[in-house]
């Protein structure tokens, strides 16, 4: 196999990074991101997961449904309310609506600038609900059927 990129192949138009550089990039990515399945597994483990989940969406979005036990802290309110709602010694996992929204990224940035350890949950509330995980509303807890295109059939199905 050749290691030179060709313009005929859109995937390899820009050559992949050297393995050491790629490893550093992906290691760094894992320091900043987590996913819905890992958050759900940690919360379901029964004990203290070692982090707090922050929903950075609006009140209207929060009312439609949110992760059980999450703290509601809209992105715009982080600078004024984080200290009152969060313990600086406990890592924070932020989420917003879904992959098409960068509210969790903006909330994570604001929290990091205030001195919090923070990760962003990839997929947001959209993938939480699409994976068939339980969520809360003012009426109680709900669960939607899992979307077969996003949810694993069992815990080991994707092999990650």
Tens-digit pLDDT profile for residues 81-98: 999 999 999 999 999 999
Helix, coil or strand: residue 117: coil
Give the E-state strand segments of the chain in sequence order.
33-35, 52-55, 71-72, 92-95, 118-122, 135-137, 140-142
pLDDT at 150: 81
Mean pLDDT of 97-118: 96
Task: Write down the CATH number for the domain with range 34-142.
Answer: 3.40.250.10
95-105: burial string, b at 16+ Cβ within 10 Å, e else: bbbbeebebbb
pLDDT at 128: 96
DSSP 77: G
Q: What residue spans define the domains of the chain?
A: 34-142
pLDDT at 55: 98
C-beta of residue 68 within 8 angstroms of C-beta of residue 135: yes
The answer, yes or no, to whether residue 152 has pLDDT greater than 80, is: no
Helices and strands counted in the chain (H then E): 6, 7
CA angle, 156 as apex, 151 and 158 as ends, to 5°?
Answer: 55
Tens-digit pLDDT profile for residues 94-106: 999 999 999 999 9
Tens-digit pLDDT profile for residues 56-75: 999 999 999 999 999 999 99
Tens-digit pLDDT profile for residues 36-50: 999 999 999 988 999
């Amino acid at each position: 196999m050749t290691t030179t990129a060709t313009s005929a192949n859109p995937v390899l138009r820009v050559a992949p990074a050297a393995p050491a550089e790629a490893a550093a990039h992906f290691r760094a990515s894992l320091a900043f991101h987590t996913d819905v399945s890992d958050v759900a597994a940690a919360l379901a483990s029964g004990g203290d997961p070692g982090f707090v989940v922050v929903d950075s969406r609006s009140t209207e979005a929060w009312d439609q449904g949110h992760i059980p036990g999450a703290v509601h802290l809209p992105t715009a309110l982080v600078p004024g309310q984080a200290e009152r709602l969060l313990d600086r010694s406990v890592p924070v996992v932020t989420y917003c609506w879904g992959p098409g929204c960068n509210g969790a990224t903006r909330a994570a940035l604001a929290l990091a600038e205030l001195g919090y350890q923070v990760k962003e949950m990839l997929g947001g509330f959209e993938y939480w609900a699409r994976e068939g995980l339980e969520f809360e509303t003012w009426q109680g807890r709900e669960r939607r059927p899992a979307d077969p295109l996003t949810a694993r059939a069992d815990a080991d199905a994707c092999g990650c």
